[in-house]
């Protein structure tokens, strides 16, 4: 049987797994049924299965030949707190929880690859299939590394694939260097004396200080970094006050910073503190900045990206292997795994154009079924390219 027939033959089964997972989504670190499902399938395919690695993570190990090369393939188990409005027949059966990022399909495709590679192990070495919990917000990747994933399963390269709406359908997109941004979050509080709204001279007005801060903070982006570098600073929450005739004693701001250069994380924190200190002094209020460093940027290595491109070109036309796509300012906790392994790549599967609510994390999001064969072929080809026989 030709390799492609082989893949086509298991497609209905893989899509069936995705439909099942889509009906039964679970939030980060609570992916108990999902992990049971994944572990059951891996056992069925004859892989060595480990479930004591980190929270709900499942690791399947597949060896072939006598090669010493080791690669890690990663998919995500978690869903999002979104109320599904896709209208799909296989919509979520759990109110308020939805696979709105396609992790159900990523998991199904990686399971399909484990099945194909166990049936026809045309590679030489070891593949670790890692199904990770809590990608979305809780840093399941960071926890897996802290819990010793790589001490038990040391790998030379790590790869992950994510469907990417808004890019050419069926393309494999793999730039060298940054592909997803680093993210930090912060909470800034200005506090002072409240006052009657008609007698502002009797108080300190933290509201005015907060307003001035929001405007001034954008100077960090426009005036303190190299204009060629990417930095986004967004304020996302403002809280303060309860009644219209009292100037409150406290204003809380929350926001997020996104960047590719890891040095910008310290830079933004230092500048936020400096500007907040100056404005607090000018207004006679106190400030407190809680700056929380989040997921680092995902930065594809040269050899990781080249390996992925070679794998993609083995089954796709040159025009569908895109290497110059600009990175996203979104974030992704695959960075912990990639940084710890030190080599590898994160790839996007072009998902075509979608409607306004049908993008990633939208309540009308629908995974594009045309990507199943591409993702499956990509995993198999990556295994055969990164761990070739007869080296």
Query: Which among 313, 374, 347, 391 is positioned nearest to 125, based on CA atoms?
Result: 391
The rounded distance, in Å, linking the Cα atoms of 372 and 13 is 11
CB of 325: closest distance to Zn ion in angstroms? 17
The rounded distance, in Å, linking the Cα atoms of 290 and 54 is 28
Nearer to Zn ion, 101 or 111 (CB): 101
The rounded distance, in Å, linking the Cα atoms of 196 and 34 is 55
Query: Which among 85, 77, 95 is positioned nearest to 21, based on CA atoms?
Result: 77
Stretch that binds Zn ion, among 5-13, 99-107, 173-181, 243-251 (CB under 5 A): 99-107
What is each CA distance from 120 to 61, 68, 73, 135, 222, in whole angstroms? 15, 19, 17, 30, 54
CB of 330: closest distance to Zn ion in angstroms? 8
Q: Taking the chain, what is the end-to-end CA distance rounded to the nearest angstrom? A: 24
Q: How many CA atoms lie within 13 A of 38 on its CB side?
A: 36
CB of 234: closest distance to Zn ion in angstroms? 17
- The pattern of x and - marking residues 196 through 235 that bind Zn ion according to CB under 5 A reads ----------------------------------------
CB of 6: closest distance to Zn ion in angstroms? 28
CB of 311: closest distance to Zn ion in angstroms? 21
Nearer to Zn ion, 101 or 233 (CB): 101
The rounded distance, in Å, linking the Cα atoms of 302 and 176 is 6
Nearer to Zn ion, 101 or 247 (CB): 101
Q: Is 49 exposed, middle or buried (0-12, 13-18, 19+ CB in 10 A)?
A: middle
CB of 81: closest distance to Zn ion in angstroms? 12
CB of 203: closest distance to Zn ion in angstroms? 43
The rounded distance, in Å, linking the Cα atoms of 137 and 278 is 33
Stretch that binds Zn ion, among 101-109, 174-182, 192-200, 266-274 (CB under 5 A): 101-109
Nearer to Zn ion, 62 or 101 (CB): 101
Stretch that binds Zn ion, among 100-108, 140-148, 177-185, 342-350 (CB under 5 A): 100-108
**How many residues of this chain interact with Zn ion, rule: CB under 5 A?**
1
181 interacts with Zn ion by CB under 5 A: no
Asked if 78 and 35 count as a contact pair (C-beta separation under 8 A), the reply is no
CB of 101: closest distance to Zn ion in angstroms? 3
371 interacts with Zn ion by CB under 5 A: no
Asked if 113 and 383 count as a contact pair (C-beta separation under 8 A), the reply is yes
Strand boundaries in the chain, DSSP class E: 48-50, 58-64, 70-76, 125-132, 157-164, 172-173, 177-180, 182-191, 195-196, 231-239, 246-247, 250-259, 286-293, 298-300, 321-322, 344-350
Stretch that binds Zn ion, among 97-105, 138-146, 239-247, 273-281 (CB under 5 A): 97-105
CB of 332: closest distance to Zn ion in angstroms? 7
Asked if 107 and 34 count as a contact pair (C-beta separation under 8 A), the reply is yes
Nearer to Zn ion, 225 or 351 (CB): 351
| Residue reference for tokens 């933290």 | 206
Nearer to Zn ion, 101 or 180 (CB): 101
In degrees, rounded to 5, the angle at the alpha carbon of residue 335 between the alpha carbons of residues 332 and 341 is 150
Nearer to Zn ion, 163 or 189 (CB): 163
Nearer to Zn ion, 164 or 190 (CB): 164
**For the CA atoms of 208, 210, 215, 219, what is the dihedral angle to 10 degrees?**
130
101 interacts with Zn ion by CB under 5 A: yes
34-53: contacts with Zn ion (CB under 5 A): none
In the complex, residue closest to Zn ion by CB: 101
Nearer to Zn ion, 98 or 101 (CB): 101
Stretch that binds Zn ion, among 45-53, 56-64, 94-102, 275-283 (CB under 5 A): 94-102
Nearer to Zn ion, 42 or 101 (CB): 101
- Which residues lie near Zn ion (CB under 5 A)? 101
């Amino acid at each position: 049987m030709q390799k492609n027939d082989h893949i086509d033959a298991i497609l209905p089964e893989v899509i069936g797994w995705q439909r099942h997972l889509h009906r039964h989504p679970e939030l980060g670190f609570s992916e108990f049924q999902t992990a049971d499902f994944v572990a059951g399938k891996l056992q069925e395919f004859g892989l060595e299965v480990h479930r004591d690695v980190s929270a709900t993570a499942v690791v399947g190990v597949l060896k072939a030949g006598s090669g010493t090369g080791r690669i890690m393939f990663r998919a995500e188990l978690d869903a999002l707190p979104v109320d599904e409005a896709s209208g799909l027949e296989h919509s979520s059966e759990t109110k308020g929880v939805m696979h709105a990022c396609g992790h159900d399909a990523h998991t199904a495709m990686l399971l399909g690859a484990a099945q194909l590679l166990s049936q026809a192990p045309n590679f030489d070495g070891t593949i670790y299939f890692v199904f990770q919990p809590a990608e979305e917000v809780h840093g399941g990747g960071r926890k897996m590394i802290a819990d010793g994933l790589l001490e038990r399963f040391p790998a030379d390269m790590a790869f992950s694939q994510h469907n990417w709406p808004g890019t050419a359908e069926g393309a494999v997109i793999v730039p060298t260097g940054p592909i997803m941004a680093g993210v930090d979050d912060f909470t800034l509080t200005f506090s002072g004396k409240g006052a009657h709204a008609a007698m502002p001279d009797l108080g300190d007005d933290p509201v005015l200080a907060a307003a001035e801060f929001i405007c001034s903070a954008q100077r960090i982006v426009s005036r303190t970094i190299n204009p060629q570098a990417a930095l986004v600073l967004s304020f996302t929450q403002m809280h303060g006050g309860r009644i219209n005739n009292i100037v409150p004693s406290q204003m809380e701001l929350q926001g997020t910073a996104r960047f590719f250069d890891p040095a910008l994380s310290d830079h933004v924190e230092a500048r936020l503190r400096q500007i907040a200190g100056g404005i607090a002094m000018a207004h006679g209020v106190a400030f407190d900045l809680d700056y929380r460093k989040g997921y680092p940027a995902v930065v594809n290595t040269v050899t990781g990206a080249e390996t992925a491109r070679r794998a993609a070109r083995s089954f796709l036309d040159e025009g569908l292997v895109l290497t110059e796509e600009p990175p996203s300012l979104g974030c992704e906790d695959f960075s912990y795994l990639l940084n710890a392994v030190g080599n590898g790549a994160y790839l996007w599967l072009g998902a075509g154009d979608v409607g306004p609510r049908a993008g990633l994390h939208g309540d009308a999001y629908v995974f594009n079924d045309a990507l199943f064969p591409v993702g499956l072929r990509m995993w198999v080809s990556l295994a055969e390219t990164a761990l070739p026989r007869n080296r």
